[in-house]
């Protein structure tokens, strides 16, 4: 049995915890710490879903090399049907967290699958990539990743930062591997992940003189010398008062590599600026599929909440409210269309591995980072003061002012308790710290939206169809002009 259950993941994490710091506190056991255990438990629930009797058909497959039941997140698609099975798995996990766990385990396995399907790109390290994918699959490991250099001096390249190893780079080589030092941001789920995949990604290309920063590798999160400096947590205790933040606050942190040994068989790119500047084209091949499915789920949740919250106070009779909710459902349908198009137009590569058509997925990635902030704004526009006037805790129903609450917090046709519950979720999304982090996440998780759109939708966009239409009209005019000229002569 290769696919694991939640309890296996939690036991593994308890045994090998990453060195995590939150303020001056070292988190010794992420599986019981009140600010880290909630998201770790949510990940454990996702692992359990693999074994739900009515979900096993799409959450698991029998691997042809090991003969073992394995998570569909590792299924190498050999047909469009396989891609559809992968979609059901992504959807299952997205729905389990209402789209709020951007780092359900299928995000990073999808990223690695893109590398595995194109392992030849890694040249002498190709076998390392293949073996690492097999290793992750066979142990059903949970990965985070770090790509970005810390925000110290963005105007300067890695070698011109205040310290030689402000950014992560190679210190020296040993027989066993490479010693690396420096920091990387930002490891979402770092405090409760099993492994980290590292590769550089920046708005500026890495130049040849910065070769020692041009590396990619993977290590266990519990590797000596590796520590996580976590951000402030948004976890709240009460599930009733904070249904989202109490379960789904994916903790982010900076990773500091303090002379960490990376074994040679875990090196994927080594001091090779040309390779790190190109590797991105293989990282999103499958994450685009996963992230579009997850975004659609999240937008469906926001839209559903908007529908419900306006229904209980009858603001949904107003046309401007209907129009704004209609804007949300438009985004949902564009996601759905992109998912179908990506699957239907998928093509096999030279190894027979099906790659989803990235064009519609890229269009969504370059829109979702703007749609999600807009969807949060829509909640603010249509729910207005309702996002601010809910009582601070449900305990108010046990207080002497209970009757006030029941009278003034009720909806048109529902009780105060039911209405407050709906608006508390809406407040978490639209005006809380948890909600703001999600806005920032959707804006930035795939990279700087400005450069992302310039690169994928303009510089690298296949312009042939657009230009040929214009050329067609230009030729037609020229042809007619020539004919008119010929006739007059």
Q: What does the alpha-carbon distance between residue 408 and residue 417 come to, in Å, rounded to a whole number?
A: 11
Do residues 345 and 72 make contact, with C-beta atoms less than 8 angstroms apart?
A: no
Residue 244 tokens read as 């989202």
Place of tokens 């030689």: 164
Interface stretch with ligand FAD, choices 183-191, 340-348, 401-409, 428-436 (CB under 6 A): 183-191
Of 390 and 432, CB closest to ligand FAD: 432
* φ, ψ at 193 (rounded to 5°): -95, 160
**170 DSSP β-pair partners:** 180
Place of tokens 């107003």: 318
**26 DSSP β-pair partners:** 21
Of 65-94, binders to ligand FAD (CB under 6 A) are none
Of 189 and 346, CB closest to ligand FAD: 189
Residue 151 is a binding residue for ligand FAD (CB under 6 A) = yes
Using CA atoms, how far residue 188 sits from 6, 44, 73, 371, in Å, is: 19, 16, 19, 21
Closest to 3 (Cα-Cα) out of 76, 84, 60, 83: 60
Q: How far is the CB of 21 from ligand FAD (least distance, A)?
A: 17
Of 358 and 441, CB closest to ligand FAD: 441
Residue 50 tokens read as 């693999």
Q: From the CB of residue 114, how many other CB atoms can be counted at a distance below 10 Å?
A: 22
Residue 216 is a binding residue for ligand FAD (CB under 6 A) = no
Of 254 and 338, CB closest to ligand FAD: 254
What is the chain's percent helix, strand, coil content, to nearest 5?
55, 15, 30
Of 441-470, binders to ligand FAD (CB under 6 A) are 441, 444-445, 447-448, 450
Residue 260 is a binding residue for ligand FAD (CB under 6 A) = no
Q: From the CB of residue 476, how many other CB atoms can be counted at a distance below 10 Å?
A: 10
Of 63 and 106, CB closest to ligand FAD: 106
Interface stretch with ligand FAD, choices 40-48, 181-189, 284-292, 474-482 (CB under 6 A): 181-189
Mark residues 417-446: x for contact with ligand FAD by CB under 6 A, - for none.
--------------------x--xx--xx-
Residue 145 is a binding residue for ligand FAD (CB under 6 A) = yes
Of 66 and 204, CB closest to ligand FAD: 204
Of 10 and 255, CB closest to ligand FAD: 255
Of the chain, the end-to-end C-alpha distance in Å amounts to: 85
Q: What does the alpha-carbon distance between residue 100 and residue 97 come to, in Å, rounded to a whole number?
A: 5
In the list 36, 60, 129, 147, the residue contacting ligand FAD (rule: CB under 6 A) is: 147
In the list 79, 174, 203, 278, the residue contacting ligand FAD (rule: CB under 6 A) is: 203
Size of interface with ligand FAD, in residues (CB under 6 A): 21
Provide CB contacts within 8 A for 195, sequence distance 6+.
136, 141, 142, 143, 144, 218, 219, 220, 221
Of 60 and 148, CB closest to ligand FAD: 148
Residues that bind ligand FAD (CB under 6 A): 144-148, 151, 154, 186-188, 203-204, 252, 437, 440-441, 444-445, 447-448, 450
């Amino acid at each position: 049995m290769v696919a694991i259950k939640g309890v296996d993941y939690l036991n593994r994490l308890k045994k090998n915890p990453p060195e995590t710091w939150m303020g001056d506190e070292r988190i010794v056991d992420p599986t019981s710490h009140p600010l880290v255990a909630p998201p770790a438990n949510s990940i454990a629930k996702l692992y359990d879903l693999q074994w739900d009797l009515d979900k096993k058909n799409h959450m698991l497959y029998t691997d042809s090399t090991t003969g073992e039941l394995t998570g569909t997140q590792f299924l190498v698609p050999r047909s469009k049907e396989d891609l559809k099975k992968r979609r059901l798995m992504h959807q299952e996990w997205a729905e389990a967290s209402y789209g709020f766990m951007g780092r359900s385990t299928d995000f990073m396995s999808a990223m690695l699958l893109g590398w595995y399907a194109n392992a030849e790109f890694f040249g002498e390290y190709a076998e390392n990539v293949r073996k690492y994918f097999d290793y992750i699959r066979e142990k059903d490991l949970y990965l985070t990743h770090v790509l970005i250099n810390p925000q110290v001096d963005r105007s300067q390249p890695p070698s011109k930062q205040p310290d030689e190893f402000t950014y992560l780079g190679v210190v020296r080589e040993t027989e066993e591997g490479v010693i690396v030092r420096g920091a990387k941001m930002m490891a979402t789920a770092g405090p409760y992940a099993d492994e980290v995949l590292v590769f550089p990604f920046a708005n500026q290309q890495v130049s040849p003189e910065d070769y020692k920063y041009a590396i990619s590798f993977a290590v266990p999160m519990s590797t000596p010398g590796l520590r996580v400096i976590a951000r402030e947590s948004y976890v709240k205790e009460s599930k009733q008062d904070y249904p989202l933040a109490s379960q789904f606050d994916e903790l982010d942190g900076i990773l500091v590599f303090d002379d960490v040994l990376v074994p040679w068989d875990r090196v994927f790119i080594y001091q090779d600026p040309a390779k790190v500047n190109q590797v991105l084209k293989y990282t999103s091949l499958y994450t685009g599929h996963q992230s579009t499915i997850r975004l659609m789920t999240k937008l469906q949740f926001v839209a559903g909440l908007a529908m419900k919250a306006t229904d209980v106070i009858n603001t949904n009779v107003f046309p401007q409210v209907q129009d704004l909710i209609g804007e949300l459902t438009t985004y949902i349908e564009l996601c759905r269309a992109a998912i179908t198009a990506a699957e239907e137009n998928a093509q096999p590569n030279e190894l027979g591995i099906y790659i989803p058509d990235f064009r519609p997925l890229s269009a969504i990635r370059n829109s979702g980072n703007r749609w999600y902030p807009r969807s949060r704004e829509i909640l603010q526009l249509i729910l207005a003061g309702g996002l601010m006037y809910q009582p601070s805790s449900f305990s108010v129903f046990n207080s002497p002012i209970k009757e006030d609450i029941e009278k003034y917090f009720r909806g048109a046709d529902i009780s105060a308790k039911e209405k407050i519950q709906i608006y508390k979720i809406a407040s978490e999304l639209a005006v809380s710290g948890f909600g703001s982090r999600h806005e920032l996440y959707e804006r930035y998780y795939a990279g700087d939206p400005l450069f992302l759109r310039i690169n994928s939708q303009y510089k690298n966009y296949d312009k042939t169809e657009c230009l040929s239409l214009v050329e067609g009209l230009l030729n037609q005019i020229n042809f007619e002009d020539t004919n008119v000229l010929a006739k007059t002569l």
